[in-house]
Amino acid sequence: MRVMKELIRNRGLYSMAIPGLVFLAVFSYIPLAGHLLAFKNFQISRGIWGSEWTGLDNFRFFFSNRDWIQVTVNTLYLNALFIVFELVFALLIALFLNEIRLKWFKRTVQSVVFLPYFISWIVVGYMTFILFNNTDGLINRVLDMAGLQAVDWYQTPWVWPIILTLTRMWKSAGYFSIILLAAIAGISTDYYESARLDGATRFQQMRYITLPLLRPQLIILVLLGVGRIFYGDFGMIYGIIGDNGILFPTTDVIDTYSYRALRQLGDFSMSSAIVFYQSVMGLIAVVSFNALIRRIDKDSRLF
């Protein structure tokens, strides 16, 4: 009854959540039922309930080949690189922007670092190709002019985690820096004033005031990243690497791997099996990371 009363009294405020809740229900909760397909031999003509149960058979293609370890490791490894470097870089940008006093300069820099976020991965794929290709690639031309040996970039697997991480930093660090900058703007100026009275330098203010107060936001951003750590960024990897088998050892992620496995077969159940695997592992990752945070800093945990 208390809940109902509360809901009725503040109906104006609560109703604001309706669009969001509808969205969440339609796109996040209802599709959960789709996990059922992973355990069925789904045939569209027979429908979801008419298709027979097959136990774990749909998982067999993925787990009976040892490549699954490789692609899982790649997915985790690449995403970990992305989370760490994106956030560190975003934090640096945010701190830097915060120190700029010239308004127009600050705004310009902010826009410039934010812009790449809106470029599609397909376009980014073309851009990396123009930079790194072996026929008339920009980087090889520069190396050539400097009298250095050209590199077959697209035949050298180990450099790609680095290139991908750099691309990712370039593309999304600006976006995250805006979030962090908003958090910084919310920090009360009183702290800084009293610090200045005590003779703290700008660097000390950053180190002892801004950074500690940003911790909750940083932790949330990391948690959000960890929640999707088992999902490879298909648009990115496929846009940049494509079907170049030579680079698969370091760049193939769960999503691109299963795409190639199933694009000929078009089997819905087998794809659902992969999504199920990713969801379960993602859930485990978030819960355990959250438990870890709870130990270190109880107030920053998500739940």
Partner 1 sequence: MAKWKTMWIVPAVLALAVAAAGCSGGDSSPAADPGGTGLEPVTLEIVVPGNKGANFDEVLAEVNKRLKTEMNTQVKFTMLDFADLNQKTNVMLASGENVDLVFDAPWLHLDAMASQGYYEDLSELIGQYGPNVQKTRPDQMWDANKINGKIYGVPLGSAYTQQRSVFIRKDLREQLKLAPVKTYADLKNYLYAVRDGGSGITPLLAGADDVTYSWVNWLIRDDTSVNIRPTNFSGASLMLYYKGNDGKVYNFFETEEPAILSAIADTRKLFEDKVMSQDVLTNKSGPAEMQLQNKVAATPQMAFAVPDSFNDQLKQVASGGELEPVRLFDLTPGSNISNFKMDNFICIVKTSKHKDRAMMFLDWANRQENYDLLEHGIEGVNWKASGEHKYETLNNDSGIVSFQLIQNPVLEREWAGSDEETLKYNQFITQDDNFTKDVMTGFTFDPTPVKNEVAQFSTIQAKYYNGLFNGALDPDDYLTRFKAEGADILKKIQTEFQRQVDEFLAKKA
Give me the residues that bind partner 1 (CB under 8 A), please.
11-19, 22-23, 43-46, 57, 60-61, 64-65, 67, 125-126, 129, 133-135, 152, 154-155, 242-246, 248, 257, 259-268, 270
Tell me whether residue 86 or residue 255 sits nearer to partner 1 (CB atom): 255
- Minimum CB separation of residue 21 from partner 1 in Å reads 8
Terminal Cα distance for the chain, rounded: 25
Tell me whether residue 100 or residue 261 sits nearer to partner 1 (CB atom): 261
Residues 6+ apart with CB under 8 A from 151: 139, 140, 143, 159
- Minimum CB separation of residue 155 from partner 1 in Å reads 7
Residues 6+ apart with CB under 8 A from 116: 170, 171, 172, 174
Tell me whether residue 111 or residue 155 sits nearer to partner 1 (CB atom): 155
In the block, tokens 């006093």 appear at 101
Tell me whether residue 99 or residue 152 sits nearer to partner 1 (CB atom): 152
C-alpha angle 235/240/244, rounded to 5°?
115
Measured distance CA(269)–CA(271) in Å, rounded: 5
- Minimum CB separation of residue 278 from partner 1 in Å reads 17
- Minimum CB separation of residue 273 from partner 1 in Å reads 11
- Minimum CB separation of residue 139 from partner 1 in Å reads 14
Query: Which 3 state secondary structure label does DSSP give 125?
Result: helix
